[in-house]
Amino acid sequence: MRKQIVAGNWKMHGTLDEVQLLADQLHAATFHLQHHQEIVICPPFVYLMMLRERFRDRREFHIGAQNCYTEPSGAFTGEVAAPMLSSIGVEYVIIGHSERRQYFHETHDMLARKINIALQSGLKPIFCCGEPLDIRQQQAQNAYVEKQLQESLFHLSEEQLRQVVIAYEPVWAIGTGVNATAQQAQEMHAFIRNAIATRYHAALANDITILYGGSVKASNAAELFACPDVDGGLVGGASLKAEEFTRIVEALA
């Protein structure tokens, strides 16, 4: 059965006190997850180790980073390498978030190299793709997302791609409060799955987890997650509120 995930991207939020409080609240919550369902928490780098320890006794929680560098080590002041992340028990890493593409000018080629080093280090990449508003308005979203997949992901072998989670995050829905409709999400997720089937094969496409991200809330999660090709969500703002996030996770059930 395909893995289902609700991942929380905490972005650059939270002082130590705030993060400890949120972690305590999440740790205390009860989830009714099946064996193929997971929660991934992606805090800022400085809290990764602490949260790894905090959730060690909670089987359903996994820890992810929000980024890694393209190189395994070296004179790259301020960067964090994928082998460092895996060495402290981080399992996932978000790669290609639209904020990284927009504010830090991460190119398709850089993202392909980040995917490679993440996989070589034993991390599971959560690869973000998705179109900006003007592309959606031109109805050109499929070609746009297909290029993102082709340029940064489709060089992988079948075995490598099996380790990757894809997150479709339309840029116009991120942090705006305006989510894609369930129909828009389903159409794009089916398109992505079909693109994988065309490049690789249908059985592999059927096994890849594809998350939806963009203004997921407790009030819309169940409808989005009920779409046949939507395997959970990548959640930004709503992942910072324990009760709201817990309700989003429960929408997987």
Tokens coding 167? 């997150």
CB 97 within 8 A of CB 104: no
Axis-axis angle for helices 242-250, 16-28 (nearest 10): 40
Spell out a b/e string for 44-55, using b for 16 or more CB atoms within 10 Å of the CB, else e: eeebbeebbebb
| Active-site residue flag, 36 | no
- Contact at 8 Å (CB) between 175 and 236? yes
Binding mask 154-193 for ligand PEP (x = CB under 6 A): ---------------x----xx------------------
Query: From the list 8, 96, 213, 232, which residue makes contact with ligand PEP (rule: CB under 6 A)?
Result: 213
233 labelled as ligand-binding?
Answer: no
64 annotated ligand binder: no
Q: Which of residues 6-35 bind ligand PEP (CB under 6 A)?
A: 9
Q: Which is nearer to ligand PEP, 86 or 220 (CB)?
A: 220
Write phi, then psi, for 131 (nearest 5 degrees).
-95, 150
Catalytic residue among 38, 131, 146, 169: 169
The answer to the question of whether 78 is labelled as a binding residue is no
Is residue 97 part of the annotated active site? The answer reads yes
* Active-site entry in 38, 62, 97, 106: 97
Instruction: Identify whether the C-beta of residue 163 lies closer than 8 Å to the C-beta of residue 140.
Output: no
> Count of residues binding ligand PEP (CB under 6 A)?
13
Query: Is 175 annotated for ligand binding?
Result: yes
Using CB under 6 A as the binding rule, whether residue 236 contacts ligand PEP is answered as yes
- From the CB of residue 73, how many other CB atoms can be counted at a distance below 10 Å? 11
CB of 177 to ligand PEP, least distance (A): 8
The catalytic residue positions are: 97, 169
Known binding site: residues?
9-11, 175, 215, 236-237
